[in-house]
Each structure stands twice: as C-alpha cells, then as structure tokens.
Structure 1
C-alpha cells in the first residue's frame, strides 16, 4: 500500500509542478493543489512503507541483534539517499521540463520495482494472521498495551523535541555557509559529505555501545548533548569567520543526530517487542516525521522573519548582519536539545533491555537473514 501511494504521488508530481509554474493552460492554483496532493501521497507512502519495514525488522530480528539492525537500516538509508542524489544530479545535468517528467516518472517505476524485490520472501505466509475472522484489538486496547510496555508520553515528547532540534537546520546550513562564510557552491555542497561522515560515525558508535549492553535512552541523551555543542560551534564560526569550526560543527550535528536516531529507534523496537509492533513503531514514526517536518518549516520561517526584522533595523545595531536569522534558529535548536535531555533523563534504565552480544564488531555476522 505504501509503495502504491508513492507511485501515485510521483506520477502526479511533475505535471503538478509544471502547472504550478504558471506556463500551462490552467491557472497555477491547480498546480498548488496537485503538488500538495503529490507530496502528501509520497510522504504517506514513504512512512507507511517505513513503519511496515521497521515492524518486520522487529519481528524477525533477535533481541540481541537489534542494535546492529538499527545501525544498518540507517546506514543503508544514508547510502540510498547519497547514491540517488548523485544519480539525479547526472540525469538532470542538461535540464529540461521533459527530462524532469521522465526522471520523476522513472523514480515512480524504480521505487515500485525495488520495493517488490525488497519484500520478496521476507516473511513466511501465515493465513491465520490475515484471516478476516481473526480478532483484532481496538485502538484503545493497543494503545494501553503500548503504554504498559514502556511507550510513555515522556518517550514521545523526547523523540519530538530531539528530532525537531536536529531538523530545524536542515535547509539552513548550506545557505549559512554561503551567505555568512562566503563559501563557494562546491564548498557548501561538500558539507553534505561532512554531515554524512558524522552520521555514519554516530551509527557505528551506537551499534558498538548498544551491542555491549548500553542503554538506548542514555545513547539518545549523549547524541542530544553532542548536538548542543555542535550548534554552538556553528554559531561561533560566524564571528570567528572560521570555516574549520563550521565544518566541525556540521560533522558533529550529523554525529549527534545519528546517536539520537539510533537510540530512540532501538528503544521503540524494545517497546514494540512487548506490545503491538505496528502501534509502537507507527507512533514513533508519526512523532518523528511530524517533528522533522514541523522543525524544517519553522526553521526556514523563523530565519526569514528574524532576518527581515534585522534588515529593517528593528532589532538594533548590535543584532544585525546576515548571520542573525540563522543563529536565532540555532539557539532555538540548542534549547530544544537541552529540553530533550530533561525529557530523556528519567527514561534511562526505566526498562532494562539486554542487547549484549558475543562480539562488539560492527559487521554482518549477526544481521538477520
């Protein structure tokens, strides 16, 4: 179902964008509705597929190998995103509207085929689990089971705060480097590599720590704390005009974000093992996606609003310059990550899950087949 929703969204998207440009035979407002529908379908399909995939991973992965599973899931996600970005840049090098339609529709077909291949024989057929006569719990019953297994409101608040804290910068780091530190296009594009390296380091460390019996909430708290120092480094790079400090901060944002994401997902999988996996991971995914989307939206809006006030002189002579709008957002992210630490603190060791493994190596040996 998620794959089909994505296919429909990608099929609509290029034509909606063309109408949105105002060059079509219909008013641009039709393009706005079409684009909204297309992105809604793609987003809904993405998270439907993600939730089902995480629930499947929880079901088939032994408890002691889940830290490796979480780390490898995120690593493959990062590799897929990076690889597809390179492919798209090559395909759209000689841009045209027809080429855009072809690429997006090609994505629709490719994701359909890839998901079919990924699902093939992943789970043995069990007619009793899908029987129409099977008793299915009501939402309230599943929610009560989720809460009893450790899915507290505090856990969801921590996920929301931390995700928003790491996400608000998503569309701001590259323009910050260009506008404040005068980096070239090539230099700002290279920031993606620093961020990816930091994120991969976070995933590797999380697999190692959790594989040795570490607490997932403690790991998430460590990620939030590192994120606070990372954003402070980015803020300080502006008055210091230090590209090195900015790059280090970017890598640390990825590192802290990787630790936080791996820790919270591992905790959600532990809750899922004691309750309905779809409910637990669906709730985690809904909170995570909503916080990420809202954080990105607020980050861009707040930056523009503060920059506009500063350019009009309404914030005074001291609070002026191109960095003010960006730094205001980064300060908010530091505050959100501090609030995340407050929320995560009481969760540490409230539920003891032993993830200890026979080997601390970050490898495929214990990855479920």
Structure 2
C-alpha cells in the first residue's frame, strides 16, 4: 500500500494480540455502539414523533456530535505520544455514557421548556462526540498497532461485527424495556445502559494493553512525529487521499437514512416507538450478517490478490442502492410492504460494504513512513465523522423540506431514499479506483499481500 506492513527485521517484536484480546477490544466497540444507538435512534425518534419537533433538530444535534469528532486526529496523536491508550479508551466511554444520560434528560426537558432543553442537549451531544472520538479512535489504534499484519483485516471485521452486535442487542433490549413508553421509564433504561457499558469497558480493557505486540510504526524506537508533520505526511500520499474521498462519499450515503428510518416507520407505517426501535435492530442485524459473510468470503479473495476486497466494497454499495430504491417504493405504498425484510436487506448491503472498507483502512493504518496508527485512524475517523454528520443532516433536512413542498410524507421519503441510492452508486464508482490493485500499490516501497490477509 504505502510503506511495508510486514518486515521480519523491524515490524514484529512480540506475538501481539490473540483472538481473546481482539474480542475484548470488540467489547469496547460494542459498548460504544450501544451508547451511541440511544442518542441516534431512540432519542431521535422521541423528538420527532412523540414531541413533534422538526427532524432537523435531532439531526442537527447528531451532526454536532460528529463535528466534535473533528478532534479525532488530535486525540489519536495524544494516545500515540502518551503510550497509554487504555486510559483514553475508558475515559472516552465514560464521557460518552455521561453524554447519553444528559441527552436523555435534555429530551425530557424539551417537552416542557424548549430553550433550556436544547441548551442541555447541545452540551450532551458535545460530550457524546468527545467520548466517541477519544475512546473509539484509541481502541482502533490499539488494535491496529497490536495485531500482526496478517490478522488486521480479520481483527477489524471481528471488532466491528461485535460493535454492530452491541447495537442490535441494545436496540432490541431498549426497545422492549421502554414499553409501555414513558419519559420516566426511558430515563431509567438509559441509566442502566450507561452503567452497564462503562463497567463492560473497564473489565474488557483490564491489563489488555500489556498484551499488545509492536507492529508497523509502533515497532520503531523513534518518537511519533509532531501533529502537523503527521497530517502533512498523510495528505501527500495519493492513495490515502483517494481512500479518504471514497470513505467520505460512501459514509454520507451510509448515514443518510440513520435519522429518518425510525420517523419513516412511525409516520408512514404507524409503528410505535418500541416497534420502530426494533426495526432499527433489524437493520443492524442485516449489517451484522453482511459483515460476517464478507469477513469469511473476503478473506479468501484477498488472500489471492491485493485488490480482492474491491468486489465486496462495490457489491455492497450497489446492493445498498437497490435496497434504498425498494424503500422508495415502500414509502409510496405503505403497509403491507414487507418493511422489516427491506430494511434487513439494506443492512446486509451496508455490512458487506463496510467490513471490506474497514479491512483496507486497517491495512493503511500501519503503513505510514513515520506516522503512527493513532493519528492515521484519527484522520479517517474525522473524515467519516464529517460525512456522517452531513449525511444525517442532509437526510433529515431533505425530508423536512420535501414534506413541506410535496405535502405528502411518502413522496418526501421516496425522494430522499432515491438521492441516497444515487450516492451509493457514486461511491461504488469511486471504490473501483480507491480499492483497486493500482491504488493499493501507490507509493509503496515494498508490496505485501499481507495487507488484506
């Protein structure tokens, strides 16, 4: 890809993480996913349907939490230099949990006092963004620097599958526990979720970092470069730039339905809060299955050729576009359209695309000439965060505007789903070059097929 990812003389100084340690990092990812789910699905639905607010309001709050994550490169760089990623992981998840509780209280306050409630919500989503950025970036950097090159893609698949499993489990559980719905019950469930996820993170990371190997630039004795030099190195790598653009466009497409899927289920199909939350769980279940399929099948393809994951990335994007086209039909037909199956298939395509892209990202993370994994994962995390914020906000604002102009909920959702499908098709085109063999070998001093092993 860029610099060699496997070199017997400099890269490996210990065995690195085994599968148990990788699963423990996956538990951290699951905790992050479960806590974020509360803010981006449950509270989003409550604000739009139960409180009758414009979809742009929760979308703006979620976009703000992504904007805060522009600090990911700084947090990643700090964990590179501090040589203690565990405290960043635990601290980040704790801040995220606190933000989730404040966001729940802010949502309840919005029902009676909009201005104080909104002010509290801004603070809450600031904490959520900081927690995700600091904890999530450090966890992925620890994974990238502590796992042998031949395991990186598989390790990424395992941890992200566990993250989605955490989202699915929490969505189904929270959806069941908040019925019959009341604000008091919502606050109790949110408090239990926060306490459980912070506890799980502390247990999962206990004495974990000492098991890490030293691979990529973590194996070098030289200090990590300063922040500006690290960013400059990454920006001047053409392959890294192309991959960043692909991540940006694909993640906009990936996130456009996030904030409108549950309101869509409530407004067009008449689903109750618990039912629409469980629908979100079906979407995440599809993502989980897509990741498992790609984690198994993609490893076989990538072991034979460096661009073996390209067909999975492109195929996932196209499948997602087709499923969104079907959701557009559902929007104008309503019941008895098989909404659950449609959403599950959308998740399946999303999962296939996502895990293949993550495999490439993990390979790139340790490929810098001087930069360490933390800052590189931070840069791609920031790009992803910007895209998620823009995508979610675009979807929500688009629905608000379309509902006002068209005067029909179904037609409004159909239009937005169609735009999202087009974005996925554009991402498929970009993926051909971003994940192709030529791109993967650009600027590389040594070419290794272990990148995607």
- For the criterion TM > 0.5, the same-fold answer is yes
Show the counterpart of 2:48: none
Residues 1:279 and 2:375 aligned together:
yes
Show the counterpart of 1:203: 291
Contact 1:227-1:257 within 8 A present in 2 as well: yes
Q: Which moved more, 1:331-340 or 1:85-94?
A: 85-94
Task: State the 1:125 CA deviation.
Answer: 8.3
Aligned residues: 340
Q: Which moved more, 1:150-159 or 1:254-263?
A: 150-159
* Residue of structure 1 aligned with 2:199, choices 94, 98, 113: 113
* Residue of structure 2 aligned with 1:351, choices 440, 444, 447: 440
| Deviations, residues 50-100 of structure 1 (Å, cap 9, x unaligned) | 111111111222222233222221221122122223433454346555554
* Residue of structure 1 aligned with 2:246, choices 158, 168, 174: 158
Show the counterpart of 2:30: none
Task: State the 1:167 CA deviation.
Answer: 1.5
Per residue, is there more helix in 1 or in 2?
2
Show the counterpart of 2:388: 292
Task: Map 1:1-369 to 2 at 5 A.
Answer: 1-10=91-100, 12-22=102-112, 28-93=114-179, 98-124=184-210, 135-147=223-235, 152-177=240-265, 179-180=267-268, 182=269, 184-185=271-272, 191-192=279-280, 194-214=282-302, 215-238=308-331, 243=336, 246-275=339-368, 276-311=372-407, 321-347=408-434, 348-349=436-437, 350-351=439-440, 353-354=449-450
Runs of 4+, deviation exceeding 6 Å = none
- Please identify the structure whose Cα radius of gyration is greater: 1
Give the Cα–Cα distance (whole angstroms) in 2 for the partners of residues 280 and 249 of structure 1. 36
Task: State the 1:187 CA deviation.
Answer: 6.8
Give the Cα–Cα distance (whole angstroms) in 2 for the partners of residues 230 and 18 of structure 1. 35
What SS does the corresponding residue of 1:75 show, helix, strand or coil? helix
Give the Cα–Cα distance (whole angstroms) in 2 for the partners of residues 7 and 235 of structure 1. 35
What SS does the corresponding residue of 1:228 show, helix, strand or coil? helix
- Give structure 1 stretches of 5+ with no counterpart: 312-320, 358-369
Give the Cα–Cα distance (whole angstroms) in 2 for the partners of residues 40 and 59 of structure 1. 28
Backbone CA RMSD of aligned residues: 3.2
TM-aligned CA distance change 1:307 to 1:14, over 3 Å: closer
What TM-score does the superposition give when structure 2 sets the normalisation length?
0.66
What SS does the corresponding residue of 2:209 show, helix, strand or coil? coil
What SS does the corresponding residue of 2:351 show, helix, strand or coil? helix
Give the Cα–Cα distance (whole angstroms) in 1 for the partners of residues 201 and 393 of structure 2. 29
